[in-house]
């Protein structure tokens, strides 16, 4: 049986289909959907050129997303985890599907990303940058990567294991109310968020933009139609 999710916005709406029935999803099936697009947001599929992306576009593993000046992309994964890709950012989505579970790894090349990652059994969610890997589960926070790959990673809830990939290859654990900076030297520097107003502001902005949704399930002879109403965040 299939479930069809119809996502309504203030003006626009879109339709996406997800496989159901407990089967392992095909390797090329969508892992996320583009929930919101503001101004200049482009998408690059494998072996394709960059092109403008619209609300409702299905995203699969190896897809790249780029935002321009004063632009925003809101991405929602099939497990309801959310990414807010801020202006002048570039990232790539990876998803490894095995045993009915999807482990996700988002590579952020540069820019700012806010995230709300839902805890889903044994599924893994990682963020990778040019200088570190963050392994998280059930976590809200922000990520900022500058043009040299230096990374700032802060949390408003949950925890994350941090591994530097350059230099000294330091390690550490970040918890709620703390942030970490990791540079090309491989040092892992963890501090309270209160020590950095910029990180505090990013976390506040991320928490103030949680999309509110309501669901209505309609039974039909072709399966369940799930109508999800989304606010204007």
Give residue-wise pLDDT tens across range 96-132. Answer: 776 666 788 999 999 999 999 987 677 778 999 999 9
151-188 pLDDT, tens digit each: 999 999 999 999 999 999 999 999 999 999 999 999 99
> Out of 2.60.120.1440, 2.40.440.10, 1.10.260.40, 3.40.1390.10, which CATH number does the structure's domain 35-54+63-210 have?
2.60.120.1440
Taking 50 as the threshold, does the pLDDT of residue 5 lie above it?
Answer: no
Which of 32, 29, 39, 33 is CA-nearest to residue 13? 33
Dist. CA 183–CA 151, nearest whole Å: 6
Taking 90 as the threshold, does the pLDDT of residue 216 lie above it?
Answer: no
Dist. CA 154–CA 176, nearest whole Å: 8
By the 8 A CB rule, do 200 and 193 touch? Answer: yes
Instruction: Quote the pTM value.
Output: 0.77
């Amino acid at each position: 049986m299939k479930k069809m999710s119809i996502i309504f916005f203030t003006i626009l709406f879109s339709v996406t289909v997800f496989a159901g029935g407990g089967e392992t999803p095909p390797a090329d099936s969508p892992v996320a959907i583009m929930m919101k697009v503001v101004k200049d947001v482009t998408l690059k599929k494998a072996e394709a050129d960059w092109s403008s992306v619209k609300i409702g576009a299905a995203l699969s593993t190896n897809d790249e997303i780029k935002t321009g000046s004063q632009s925003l992309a809101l991405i929602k994964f099939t497990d309801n985890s959310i990414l807010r890709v801020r202006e002048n950012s570039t990232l790539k989505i990876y998803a490894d599907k095995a045993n009915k579970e999807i482990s996700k790894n988002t590579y952020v090349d540069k820019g700012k990303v806010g995230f709300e990652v839902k805890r889903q059994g044994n599924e893994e969610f990682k963020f990778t940058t040019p200088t570190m890997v963050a392994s998280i589960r059930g976590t809200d926070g922000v990520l900022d990567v500058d043009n040299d790959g230096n990374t700032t990673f802060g949390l408003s809830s949950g925890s994350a294991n941090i591994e530097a990939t350059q230099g000294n290859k330091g390690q550490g654990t970040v918890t709620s109310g703390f942030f970490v900076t990791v540079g090309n030297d491989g040092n892992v520097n963890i501090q309270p968020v209160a020590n950095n107003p910029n990180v505090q502001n990013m976390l506040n902005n991320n928490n103030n933009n949680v999309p509110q949704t309501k669901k209505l399930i309609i039974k039909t002879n072709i399966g369940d139609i799930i109508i999800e109403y989304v606010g204007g965040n």
